[in-house]
């Protein structure tokens, strides 16, 4: 079984997240994609603090009706900060032998991968599917890896994949560029501007109903 993992703060979830999850599912024939909301680290500039429960509920609303998408609260339940390496280890224990995990993330996150806890071990636990987030034009991301990790991979030209010593791969996936961020959504809500068509309708309704992000109820 091949499972995609999309970690994020999802504060709130938006169409950019859903598009990369769906594109990765389609391109790599993933059986499912697990959305895993992280605990918000105290240093993250998120404006008004909203509870994990709200973020989790908004993910549930956003993926409702898509049988390939699931949400997991393992990072929210775990004590201490959310480290992806711990999550991947935990998922391997949970799913057992025969499961292949692929971590889906934007290039903006991937280029900082060397700052993640135990980053070298990450590639022993999962593949990485890197999408071209809007800030980074495609020409900028294809064909190379962040310098800090380059030595551990070789490039398979026929498959256009970077293969790790462990046999896991890093793939660059060409996805539609969706210029949406949670930061922008929070800003728009605060300013009383529309977020229609930027987040799923039920998420917009939830934000409004609960007066999240400083918006009017």
Examine residue 16 and tell whether it contacts ligand ATP (CB under 6 A).
yes
Examine residue 180 and tell whether it contacts ligand ATP (CB under 6 A).
yes
Looking at the Cβ atoms of 132 and 169, the one nearer to ligand ATP is: 132
Q: Which of 2, 9, 27, 76 binds ligand ATP (CB under 6 A)?
A: 9
**Total binding residues toward ligand ATP, as defined by CB under 6 A:** 19
Examine residue 58 and tell whether it contacts ligand ATP (CB under 6 A).
no
- Closest Cα to residue 173, out of 125, 120, 127, 123? 127
Looking at the Cβ atoms of 166 and 183, the one nearer to ligand ATP is: 183
* Sequence-ordered list of residues with C-beta below 8 angstroms from that of 185, at least 6 positions apart, any chain: 12, 14, 195, 198, 199, 213
Residue position matching structure tokens 């224990």: 93
Facing residues of 117 across strands?
Answer: none
* Sequence-ordered list of residues with C-beta below 8 angstroms from that of 99, at least 6 positions apart, any chain: 1, 2, 3, 91, 92
Q: What is the dihedral of CA 152, 80, 204, 70, to 10 degrees?
A: 60
Examine residue 4 and tell whether it contacts ligand ATP (CB under 6 A).
no
Q: Which two tokens stand for residue 193?
A: 């501007």
* One character per residue 100-139, x = contact with ligand ATP (rule: CB under 6 A): -----xx-xx---------------------x-xx-----
Do 31 and 76 form a contact (C-beta atoms < 8 A)? no
Q: How far is the CB of 37 from ligand ATP (least distance, A)?
A: 8
Q: How far is the CB of 155 from ligand ATP (least distance, A)?
A: 23
Do 4 and 104 form a contact (C-beta atoms < 8 A)? yes
Longest dimension (CA), the chain: 54
H or E segment to which residue 63 belongs = helix 52-63
End-to-end CA distance of the chain: 43
Looking at the Cβ atoms of 8 and 162, the one nearer to ligand ATP is: 8
Examine residue 166 and tell whether it contacts ligand ATP (CB under 6 A).
no
Q: How far is the CB of 38 from ligand ATP (least distance, A)?
A: 8
Q: Which of 3, 4, 5, 11 binds ligand ATP (CB under 6 A)?
A: 11
Contact residues for ligand ATP, defined by CB under 6 A? 8-11, 16-17, 20, 105-106, 108-109, 131, 133-134, 178, 180-183
């Amino acid at each position: 079984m091949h499972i995609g993992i999309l970690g994020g703060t999802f504060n709130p979830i938006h169409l950019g997240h859903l598009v990369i999850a769906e594109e990765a599912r389609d391109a790599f024939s993933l059986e499912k994609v697990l959305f895993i909301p992280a605990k918000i680290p105290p240093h993250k500039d998120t404006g008004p603090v909203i509870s994990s429960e709200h973020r989790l509920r908004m993910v549930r609303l956003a993926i409702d009706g898509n049988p390939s998408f699931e949400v997991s609260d393992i990072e929210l339940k775990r004590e201490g900060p959310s480290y992806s390496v711990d999550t991947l280890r935990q998922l391997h224990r949970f799913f057992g032998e025969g499961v292949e995990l692929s971590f889906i993330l934007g290039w903006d996150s991937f280029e900082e991968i060397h700052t993640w806890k135990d980053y070298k071990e990450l590639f022993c636990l999962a593949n990485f599917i890197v999408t071209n987030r809007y800030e980074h034009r495609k020409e900028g991301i294809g064909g190379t890896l962040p310098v800090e990790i380059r030595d551990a991979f070789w490039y398979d030209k026929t498959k256009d994949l970077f293969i790790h010593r462990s046999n896991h791969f890093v793939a660059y996936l060409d996805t539609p560029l969706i210029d949406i961020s949670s930061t922008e959504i929070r800003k728009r809500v605060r300013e009383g501007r529309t977020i229609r068509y930027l987040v799923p309708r039920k998420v917009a309704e939830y934000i409004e109903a609960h007066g999240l992000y400083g918006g009017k109820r």
